[in-house]
């Protein structure tokens, strides 16, 4: 499990350079992407600071020297509305790919009810409301994405419990703002959580989480090319 954090000070950047953390960068944050650091590009729609398609793509284009270490760049989204997000993302996903970045769709509430073209993106970023993201629909979408070979990411992960849950539904990575609030004391805690999750056996991420995941998935993932 890789955790992508905001670059909150020198200790966090040192952990990123050491490969212990990845970095999440957005146009609004103004933070630089360092050479040799794994990172993801987020569009800043969640905070209401999306700069628009052309400016966002220009921001990505200015950082193509680092794209080889970029796990994905998200297409623009609208929080809580999957249909509006799909319509908004559809013209941008191929433009992200054209810049040489893997493109990610941000999953929002109701995505399970849409017929979408899964071949247009390389990663699924589980966003949306907390209730939806932790519910059965998001878990099944994650399973379907993995079955298609896509990268699965969970946003807003700021506790060990949430990190374990992300691992239990098969996520490859997570992000959160945990380090922005006291990086000196929170960095050792976060690294400890990651060590616990990454060294745990597949069935030891927590009995309650394992039971919840079995319920949430609602059976095996759908076959590729069908609606999840």
Q: DSSP letter at 9?
A: S
- C-alpha–C-alpha distance, residues 168 and 206, integer Å: 9
Q: Does the reported pTM lie above 0.75?
A: yes
Distance CA 85, CA 13 (A): 32
Band (46; pLDDT cuts 50, 70, 90): confident
Q: Which of 178, 188, 167 is nearest to 5 (CA)?
A: 178
**What mean pLDDT comes out for the span 42-69?**
94
Q: b/e map of 156-177 (b: 16 or more CB within 10 Å)?
A: bbbebebbbbbbbbbbbbbbbe
**Mean pLDDT over all residues of the chain?**
89
DSSP 135: S
> What's the per-residue H, E or C state across 73-95?
EECCCCCCCHHHHHHHHCCCHHH
Residue (of 190, 217, 188, 193) closest to 206 by Cα position: 193
Domains, the chain: 2-217 (3.20.20.60)
Residue 121 has a pLDDT of 98
Give the helix/strand (H/E) hosting 4: strand 2-5
Rounded Cα–Cα distance for residues 169 and 148 (Å) = 15
pLDDT band at residue 34 using 50, 70 and 90 as cut-offs: confident
- Is the pLDDT confidence value at 204 over 80? no
Residue range 67-88: average pLDDT? 97
160's CB contacts (< 8 A; 6+ apart) are: 193, 196, 197
The 10s digit of each residue's pLDDT in 171-202 is 999 999 999 989 999 999 999 999 999 998 66
């Amino acid at each position: 499990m890789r955790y992508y954090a905001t670059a909150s000070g020198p200790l966090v950047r040192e952990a990123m350079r050491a490969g212990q953390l990845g970095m999440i960068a957005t146009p609004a944050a103004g933070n630089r992407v360092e050479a040799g650091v794994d990172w993801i590009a987020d569009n800043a729609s969640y905070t209401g600071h999306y700069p628009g398609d052309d400016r966002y793509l220009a921001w990505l284009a200015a950082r193509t020297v680092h794209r080889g270490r970029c796990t994905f760049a998200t297409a623009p989204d609208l929080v809580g509305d999957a249909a509006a997000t799909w319509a908004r993302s559809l013209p941008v996903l191929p433009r992200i790919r054209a810049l040489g970045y893997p493109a990610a769709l941000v999953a929002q509430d109701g995505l399970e009810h849409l017929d979408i073209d899964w071949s247009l993106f390389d990663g699924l970023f589980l966003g949306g409301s907390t209730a939806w993201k932790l519910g059965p629909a998001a878990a099944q979408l994650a399973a379907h994405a993995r079955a298609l070979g896509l990268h699965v990411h969970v946003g807003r992960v700021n506790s060990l419990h949430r990190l374990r849950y992300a691992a239990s539904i098969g996520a490859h990575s997570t992000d959160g703002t945990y380090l922005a609030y006291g990086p000196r004391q929170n960095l050792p805690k976060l690294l400890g959580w990651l060590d616990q999750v990454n060294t745990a056996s597949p069935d030891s991420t927590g009995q309650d989480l394992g039971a919840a995941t079995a319920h949430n998935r609602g059976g095996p993932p759908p076959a590729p090319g069908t609606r999840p």
